Chain A
Amino acid sequence: MLLEVKNLSIYDAETKDTIVEDISFTLEQQRNLGIVGESGSGKSMTVKGILGLVAPWMKVSGTAYFEGEDMLKMKAKAMQNIRARHISMILQDAMSAFDPLDTVGKQMMETLCEHLKISRKEAKQISLNELGSLGIQEASQMMKKYPHQLSGGMLQRCMIAIAVAIKPDVIIADEPTTALDAITQSEVIATFQRLHAQKRITFIFISHDLGVIRHLTEEVLVMKDGKSVEYGRTREVFRYPQNKYTKYLVDTRLNLACSFEKIMRKGPYDA
């Protein structure tokens, strides 16, 4: 067992709202988890809460055991260590995820130097390799660019490259496909599949796109209004949804999923 979350709740002391209520799930080695739900259902908040990435006035309660330690009770330094080596996150909005005043390459290298304790030269080489294996030509040119000069898809791949280079146990991908066009989407999905198979990385995918979740995950957690409405094996949840809301989701999003499957069947590289 990689990660075990129990009774996670997040309370906003400012607005006095409960944003996430009583969420529990477990993440097993090599079994990807999907978290689905409409926007505002608390999916992103749940993982941000676990990683300690919420605003100071958000009170997180419950437990989240990672390798026998409760992440919710960790000191800032230990949490930073977890985020650095063990659980990487790929943010939803790639366009604004990098510091606009610095080149992307510098920010990539900075991360690698810090976590892998390697020289800048080595960090550069690793970055180039990772970017290359994500299908980016002229990666060295790209690393010299500032975030505003690159597209969302490119920046997303930079985030993936960083996450992969660190070789974490878990990668959390928050809406990894929403900001991308169809072709890039399928490429990114293919990359995730490859990484999952080759590098033995376990993923948590957060998405409102059921197609992505169905394709990439073994377990699924369905959320609505901050609460968990259904949790189980992806295949079963999709085939025999127990909850009314899940049923509704599956029915209405079927079309979306179909179009997604069409893209996938074509395959990213022979498109």
Chain B
Amino acid sequence: MGTLNKLIQNRFAMICIIFLVTVVLTGFFAPWLAPHNPVDVNVKEKLAGISTTYPMGTDQLGRCILSRLLYGIRTTVLIAFITMAATIIIGTLIGGIAGLFRGKIDEIIMRICDIFMSFPSEVMILAIIGMMGPGITNIIIASIIAKWAWYTRMIRSIVIKYTDKNYIQFARVSGFSRWHIFRKHIMPNATGEIAVLATLDIGSVILMISALSFLGLGVQAPTPEWGMMLSEAKNVMIIHPGLMLPPGIAILFVVAAFNFLGDSLQDAYNVKHRKRWR
């Protein structure tokens, strides 16, 4: 309970939570909130300025920027959530097995993780996309392959930390099955720490997805996505530089909010690292 209280007391962290919840809800209700269809082309109104019909103006094809931004939440943030969720499930499964059973299985899993981790994630993602071709599914798969090893390792160490605690040792001696101990005693404790890891990392996932889309390797046109909007804005930079602002600022705010929340969560969870940053 202390953890939650600390978080509530941190006013800026609360603002971040409210902001992020709003963003997610806005993405969810985008079809009702957006003034236009995000893929509707209107050549007559291309590169229009701010007006009541187009609150943020239009792009080089006359598409409503605000609508594209709102629908962009669905792509960018949703893909990031899916990637994160899948990575954590895989990491928890494999890391949990390694941490619970230790011994040979643990050894093998950790060696495999070593190999994956010594491979730069940027290159790994590029290699996978390169061989499987651009597209949303492939970026998700690529990011999971690039990230699972690190999560497996972190979750393994969390599991080991809790397994070594006295009451769990006791439960072991009392003859509960490993699965029971894992589910009843270790997971409830570890969930918080895993959530911290995920929150700290989701910002970087968003950055990566948008970067790949910016390069044209991720989300394909005409689906609205923030990184791709920036890449389109680049083409009309000379005549209409303002187009670079909305998607860039959107990414900045969402990522900053996640990062700040992650840091605050971490602070709330372990008192030891207090007063180190921010």
Contact = CB atoms under 8 A, between A and B. Distances in A.
- Do chains A and B make direct contact within the complex (CB under 8 angstroms)? yes
Nearest to B271: A15
Interface in B254-278: 274-275
Give chain A's interface residue range (CB within 8 Å of chain B).
Answer: under 10
Contacts of A57: 275
A270 interface: no
Interface in A1-45: 14
Nearest to B275: A14
A225 B274 CA distance: 23
Question: Secondary structure at chain B's binding surface: helix, strand, loop or mixed?
Answer: loop
Give chain B's interface residue range (CB within 8 Å of chain A).
Answer: under 10
Contacts of A14: 274-275
Interface of A: 14, 57
A14 B274 CA distance: 9
Nearest to B274: A14
Contacts, number: 3
Contacts of B275: 14, 57
3 contacts: A14-B274, A14-B275, A57-B275
Interface string B119-163: 000000000000000000000000000000000000000000000
Contacts of B274: 14
A143 B90 CA distance: 54
A128 B189 CA distance: 56
B149 to A, nearest CB: 32
3 closest Cβ contacts across the A-B interface? A14-B275, A14-B274, A57-B275
A57 B274 CA distance: 12
B3 to A, nearest CB: 16
A164 to B, nearest CB: 36
A14 B275 CA distance: 8
Nearest to A14: B275
A57 B275 CA distance: 10
A57 B276 CA distance: 12
B111 to A, nearest CB: 30
A14 B276 CA distance: 12
Nearest to A56: B275
A257 B191 CA distance: 49
Nearest to A57: B275
B267 to A, nearest CB: 11
A143 to B, nearest CB: 36
A114 B275 CA distance: 33
Nearest to A55: B275
A14 B271 CA distance: 11
B271 to A, nearest CB: 8
B193 to A, nearest CB: 22
A11 B274 CA distance: 17
A250 B275 CA distance: 39
A15 to B, nearest CB: 8
B5 to A, nearest CB: 14
A76 to B, nearest CB: 21
B263 to A, nearest CB: 16
A13 to B, nearest CB: 10
A58 to B, nearest CB: 12
B270 to A, nearest CB: 14
